[in-house]
Amino acid sequence: MEDNKIFSTRDLTLAATLVTHKFLMEGVDLQIEGTNKRPVGFFRFSRTQELEDVRRRYSQGLLSVEPKTFMTNIHSLKADVENCYKNPTGTY
């Protein structure tokens, strides 16, 4: 898939919002940052007009999410980053 067809974000809350709104995550890219070698996940999604519309509404504070589902997705995405860090040969 071409790069312009992929939307990537390191914003955990945006990624969790997108997953909560039923956008399928294509994968996680890992980058190690800072002096403490902290893993940072970049969450990849297929770039669609619908995703761009949701992202715009997110930026403007116009979206609502179901809180329990949102928090479950936050924890799941954090676990994905941790798994990617601990198992660098895995596919995410």
pLDDT one-digit tens code per residue, 48-63: 999 999 999 999 999 9
- pTM assigned to the model: 0.86
Q: Above 90 in pLDDT, residue 9? A: yes
Structure tokens belonging to residue 37: 């070698």
> How does 2-24 read in b/e, with b if 16+ C-beta sit within 10 Å?
eeeeebbeeebebbbbbbbbebe
